[in-house]
Structures are given as structure tokens and as C-alpha cells.
Amino acid sequence: MRWTFVAAFRMSAVLLFLLVGGPVLLVASKPVQETSNGSVPLVLWHGMGDSCCNPLSMGFIKKMIEEEIPGIYVVSLMIGKNVMEDTENGFFMDVNRQVSLVCSTLARDPRLQGGYNAMGFSQGGQFLRAVAQRCPSPPMKTLISVGGQHQGVYGLPRCPGENSTLCDMIRKLLNSGAYSDLVQKHLVQAQYWHDPLNDDLYRKHSLFLADINQERVVNETYKKNLQLLQRFVLVKFLRDSVVDPVDSEWFGFLKTGQAKETETLQESALYKEDRLGLAAMDAAGKLVFLSCDGDHLQFTREWFKEKLLPFLQ
């Protein structure tokens, strides 16, 4: 489909600033190494409109991390059989199915069995949190969410890798009935659509987000598993023009019943009642809130090295 190409292309353009000189080489990744050379392996999950292996985004980040941490084993998740499917699945494949596919991929990888760190970009952030909550084996050690939407979105002002036609189509679907079974099943973004004016509908019908955020019942397994993380790092982009509300990147959201005022994670019922174990994690110093002064997923190599790399070393 043409839009997937356009989306991937635009995403690349957005990330171009990351290139600090030097050409981008379309080369195969290094030969498989037996170990991770003493470092903890890393699993990456890309964002909407992107894929595992785009040489200007995930491919670039993978390469950069491999340069900074010699010998590290990095897996950039591909959902589907090829890059095109991977990109399309980021829009149209049931998120719960994506999460369970990833769980089995990780469980089958012999080099991850000692544990791994995880880094999710945009929606990949909340998807990897679901992996932590549902699939404790192999163990995830540190989870870094880069611009993830942990309380969902109530607006998609701009798609990353924007094709306005596609964005308009998604917005129309979301507005026409984000919580209808059909839209829920087939539109990824509907599965983390969080309408504060229709809280009942959200709680009842959101197939993915309401489940992992314990909106219907408290699943003690989720709570226990999430607390197994050594660290949960949340990155918020201060000039984000894609995610609405941007507070969601730090697990905050709009107060229920209106669409203007926001509340922080610490002010939310989720935290106060500690339905997910986040208050306990906060008290134990496991939650790290970082900010980046840029638009969605826009950061420099220097920023990445200074702020995120220490969590991987």
C-alpha cells in the first residue's frame, strides 16, 4: 500500500536529524553472536508507522546501541513476515495478539533466557508494558518507554510519518465508534483510545488498554509481574504534537468526565488505590520520569547517550 511507504518515509525524515554525519549504510546486521558479551540483551518495539528495520529509525538506533555497548544482543521486533506487514500491523493487528506473538518470540530466543531490557517507542512503550505484565518469562529487567501512551490517547492531532489521508481515516473511525467491536478488533489506535467523557464505554469495551490498566478488575498477576521490573523509565516529549494528551507519556491523563483538566499518575485512582503496583514501585524508587525537549520521538544521539544509555549498561 502506498501510504505505508509514505508513512515509513516520513518517519525516516523525522528521524533524519539523528544522523550525526556519515552515510546510512543498508547493510545486514552483524553475524549472530553467541552471548551478549556480559551486557543485558535489549528488545526494541517500534512505533506506529514505523517498522523493525527502517535504517533511518529503528535500524539506526539498533546500530548506535551496538556501537555504544560492544557485543550487546539487540532484537528489534518485527510483527509479521516482512517490513511491510510489520508496518501495517502497527495500524491493523489486534494488539493482544501482537503481545502474545511477542511473548512467544521472546520465550523461544535462547539468548534472552537470562533476562533482557526493553525499550518501546511510542505505542511500542505500552505494548512492551503489556509483555511485562503478562509474560514474566523470560524476565524483563528494565523497561524504557520512549513517548509511550500509558493512559492512551484522546486525540491524534498528527500521525508520526503523517499521511493526512490515513490520519483522517483513523480519526473518522475513532470518532464514529472507537468502542464498537469491529473498530476495536481491527484498529490498533482504538485499542488505546481513552475517552474521558465516556468512561463506562472505555472500561467496558477497550480490548487492550482498559485490560492492562486494570479498569475492569484487578488482575493480581499483572500487579505482581510489573513489580518484578527493576526500573520503569518513562520519557515524555515536552513539545509533542502527536500525542494528546501528552501527560499520558508519564502515565497521567485527563480527569474523568471532562476533556480539559489533566491529572498526574500520582493524582490518579490507579495510583492511589495502587491497582497496578505503581505506587509501590514509586516508593521503591523504580519509576524514573525523564523529559526531552522535542517533538514526538525527536531526540539527538547525545541526548540518547546521556539519558537512556546508562540504563542499558
Ligand X SMILES: *[C@@H]1O[C@H](CO)[C@@H](O)[C@H](O)[C@H]1NC(C)=O
* Catalytic annotation, residues: 122, 240, 296
Question: Which residue among 104, 221, 241, 291 contacts ligand X (CB under 6 A)?
Answer: 221
Whose cell is 501527560? That residue is 247
Radius of gyration of the chain (CA): 18
Binding status of residue 70 toward ligand X by CB under 6 A: yes
CB of 88 to ligand X, least distance (A): 12
Span of 87-95, 112-120, 215-223, 294-302 interacting with ligand X by CB under 6 A: 215-223
Binding status of residue 219 toward ligand X by CB under 6 A: yes
Contact 259, 203 (CB under 8 A): no
Strand blocks (E) in the chain: 42-45, 74-76, 116-121, 140-146, 231-237, 253-254, 262-263, 287-292
Contact 118, 128 (CB under 8 A): yes
Beta carbon nearer to ligand X, 222 or 250: 222
CB of 291 to ligand X, least distance (A): 30
Question: Which residue among 127, 193, 202, 222 contacts ligand X (CB under 6 A)?
Answer: 222
Beta carbon nearer to ligand X, 94 or 263: 94
Give the CB-nearest residue to ligand X. Answer: 71
Euclidean distance between CA atoms 223 and 212, whole angstroms: 10
The torsion defined by the Cα of 204, 207, 208 and 209, in degrees rounded to 10, comes to -20
CB of 263 to ligand X, least distance (A): 26
Reduced to 3 states, what is the DSSP secondary structure of residue 286?
Answer: coil
Binding status of residue 82 toward ligand X by CB under 6 A: no
Span of 119-127, 170-178, 214-222, 232-240 interacting with ligand X by CB under 6 A: 214-222
Binding status of residue 163 toward ligand X by CB under 6 A: yes
Question: Which residue among 16, 17, 19, 71 contacts ligand X (CB under 6 A)?
Answer: 71
Reduced to 3 states, what is the DSSP secondary structure of residue 70?
Answer: coil
Euclidean distance between CA atoms 290 and 249, whole angstroms: 10
Contact 98, 127 (CB under 8 A): yes
Beta carbon nearer to ligand X, 104 or 165: 165
Query: Residue 116 forms beta bridges with which residues?
Result: 140
Beta carbon nearer to ligand X, 37 or 264: 37
Binding status of residue 37 toward ligand X by CB under 6 A: yes
Contact 90, 52 (CB under 8 A): no
Binding status of residue 134 toward ligand X by CB under 6 A: yes
Question: Which residue among 166, 188, 212, 297 contacts ligand X (CB under 6 A)?
Answer: 166
Q: How far is CA 114 from CA 1, 102, 135, 143, 225, in A?
A: 39, 17, 14, 16, 16
Span of 88-96, 114-122, 146-154, 160-168 interacting with ligand X by CB under 6 A: 160-168
Residues near ligand X (CB under 6 A) are: 1-3, 6, 37, 70-71, 134, 163, 165-166, 217, 219, 221-222
